[in-house]
Amino acid sequence: MARDTDLLSDLNTFATKLGSYNLPTNDPKHIPQAAYLGWYSEAVRAQCDPVDGTTDGIVADPEACTIDYTKFRCGNPGVPSNACFTDPQIQTAKNIYSDYRDNATGAFLNYGLSKSSEMQWSVLLGGDSPSDFGIVDSNMGMRSERHLTLNGRRWF
Ligand SMILES: [Ca+2]
């Protein structure tokens, strides 16, 4: 059963969890920003746009779309090597779309990101270390996790 999200706890924790899916940046699972802001965003839109019944460039029903990852899996026939994901990168994408659940209890904490949200991923995945506003270690966020929960300590 879903519950309301508390902005000062669950939402920031969720944003940080999302960022951790894509770290560290030298890990094979890492999806580069150029990919999700470029070819990957376009590939998802191409697959999900017609699912709502109209091919108009708008993904109006992202929940109904099931991404076929074989169409951009590295090494698959016809998939260009400069616009593909490895299996670990595909798992990262699946994690980002998946609902966030408590590891111990399995309880629902937050919805995953929608398909066709890739152009906004840079806010959550664009840095190389976690922050209290997703993964971007800048002055963008409220810094509540760092300062209220961890008393100002850095993540690593
Ligand atoms: Ca559409």
Q: How far is CA 118 from CA 39, 56, 105, 134, in A?
A: 10, 18, 29, 14
Please give the pLDDT value at position 60: 97
- 59's torsion region: left (phi>0), alpha (psi -120 to 50) or beta? beta
Task: Tell how far the Cα of 46 is from the centroid of ligand 1, in angstroms.
Answer: 9
Mean of pLDDT over the chain? 82
**Per the structure block, which two tokens stand in for 7?**
């902005």
pLDDT of residue 9: 58
CA–centroid distance, residue 93 to ligand 1 (Å): 21
End-to-end CA distance of the chain: 34
Dist. CA 55 → ligand 1 center (Å) = 4
Ligand 1 ion: nearby residues, β-carbon < 5 Å: 49, 52, 54, 56, 58
Q: How much is the average pLDDT of 69-91?
A: 97
pTM of the prediction?
Answer: 0.80
Q: Which of 15-24, 49-58, 80-89, 96-105 has the lowest mean pLDDT?
A: 15-24
For residue 125, the model assigns a pLDDT of 79
